[in-house]
Amino acid sequence: MRFALPALAALVLLAGCAPQTAPKLHDVYLYGALDARLSYLYGSPRTFDLDGHTVTLSEGSASAKYAVDGALLIDGAAYASTPLTPLDPAAAVVSRIPNTTDLELTADRAIEQTVYFDGGDYFTLADSAKAGTRQRVVPRPRLNRLRGLGELTDREADALADALQKGGKPFVVAVLPADALPKHTVNGTGEYLHTGLYVQQGLVTTAAAAPTAQQVPWEVLAQGQQAVGFDKPGFQLVTSQDQLTNLWYKAYGSQLQMPKVPTVDFSRETVVAAFDGQKPTGGYNLQVRDVTVENGELYIDLVATEPQAGAITTQGLTSPWILIHVLRGGFAVAWFRNPDDGSLIGVARATQ
């Protein structure tokens, strides 16, 4: 026992004198959405020389947009942000081809993998494209959202996807080649990973062959403020009575008594649902401006309204929703767009 205590003390002393492992530095060059380089550091708390400044690295969490779970705080911030010169012209532009669910990819510079989020699901558009490419692409279903892009870790990919998905609107992410990124040299790092991404927010329709809009009869089947299970914006295309019943109970799930589920003839009619996600107060609503069929596809002009400054509203969480009853059937997809500028804000696809 008399030998054990000195040995234990020696081990503790050696552990305290052991050199700290150099921190790991991961850079994410985020063009389009932010035009900034986000630097994440991983390892043990310490002081560190980053870009000519001594910073304090500490453990903790931050609620900032793009914050990554497990990254060290940098002087209390989730990451170090450095402005980047915006890419002009855009690295890649993706547009929708009328009368089809295919897309057109135009690359101004060489890009690697390109991923598309349609407001509900992820798709791979291309594995690579050369500068000057203009090609028609068929979206391929993709699992794991943005994982596997560049040198992103899974946690970094998930944090980026979570941030971009807020609002539920479509976006495109194209990976930029590593040799095309501005150099960032930091001494004393144990690992350096870097990934360049160009983000296109929203989706436009190609100008060629503008479709002729055909008016179709429609009505608001139901709407409310307290949907259950829809914390984020989303869209659904309902094509059966069973689907409608299931959605009806979710929409009215917060009520002790709910209206009777309407009966719809889905051989001739369609129901489309839009959910605005969780809101901090009342005063938020969804309004349909128009419903049309263009080149055989269903379009819904949808407006999300917010309470005006100073308005008296319900002080509690709400979750606005609306069901649109279209007196025509047979649609496999419904496109939602902003009637003010024609941009697509979401899509709903038929499911079995």
Comparing 82 with 15, the larger pLDDT belongs to: 82
Instruction: Please indicate, yes or no, if residue 5 is contained in any of the structural domains.
Output: no
Average pLDDT over residues 151-170: 93
Average pLDDT, the chain: 88
Are 219 and 200 members of one domain? no
- What tens digit of pLDDT does each residue of 282-297 get? 899 999 999 999 878 8
Q: Which of 181, 210, 239 is the last residue of a domain?
A: 210
Are 58 and 152 members of one domain? yes
Size of the chain, expressed as the number of residues it contains? 352
CA distance 100 to 211: 12
Residue 198, CA distances (Å) to 33, 107, 177, 190 in order: 8, 11, 11, 27
Are 187 and 310 members of one domain? no
Contact between 125 and 116 under an 8 Å Cβ cutoff? The reply is: yes
Instruction: Please indicate, yes or no, if residue 2 is contained in any of the structural domains.
Output: no
Predicted local confidence at residue 206, as pLDDT: 66
Average pLDDT over residues 297-324: 88
Average pLDDT over residues 335-341: 87
Are 172 and 247 members of one domain? no
pLDDT band at 11 (very low <50, low <70, confident <90, very high): very low
Are 204 and 308 members of one domain? no
Residue 31, CA distances (Å) to 80, 159, 182, 197, 334 in order: 16, 16, 12, 6, 30
Are 164 and 302 members of one domain? no
Are 127 and 41 members of one domain? yes
Are 59 and 165 members of one domain? yes
Are 65 and 199 members of one domain? yes
Q: The domain containing residue 268 runs over which residues?
A: 213-349
Are 64 and 188 members of one domain? yes
Instruction: Please indicate, yes or no, if residue 1 is contained in any of the structural domains.
Output: no
Are 91 and 127 members of one domain? yes
> Residue 72's closest CA among 109, 41, 118, 107?
41
- What tens digit of pLDDT does each residue of 70-104 get? 999 999 999 999 999 999 999 999 988 776 678 89
Q: Which of 193, 210, 227 is the last residue of a domain?
A: 210
Q: Per-residue b/e over 168-188, b at no fewer than 16 CB within 10 Å?
A: bbbbbbbbbeeeebeeeebee
Comparing 337 with 311, the larger pLDDT belongs to: 337
Predicted local confidence at residue 122, as pLDDT: 94
Q: Which of 210, 235, 262 is the last residue of a domain?
A: 210
Are 182 and 255 members of one domain? no
Instruction: Please indicate, yes or no, if residue 247 is contained in any of the structural domains.
Output: yes
Instruction: Please indicate, yes or no, if residue 14 is contained in any of the structural domains.
Output: no
- What tens digit of pLDDT does each residue of 243-269 get? 999 999 999 987 778 899 999 999 999
211, pLDDT greater than 80: no
Instruction: Please indicate, yes or no, if residue 143 is contained in any of the structural domains.
Output: yes
Instruction: Please indicate, yes or no, if residue 94 is contained in any of the structural domains.
Output: yes
12, pLDDT greater than 50: no
Instruction: Please indicate, yes or no, if residue 310 is contained in any of the structural domains.
Output: yes
156, pLDDT greater than 50: yes
Minimum mean pLDDT range among 126-130, 324-328, 341-345: 341-345
Number of domains observed in the structure of the chain: 2
CA distance 74 to 55: 6
0.75 exceeded by pTM: no
230, pLDDT greater than 90: no
Average pLDDT over residues 289-313: 87
CA distance 19 to 15: 9
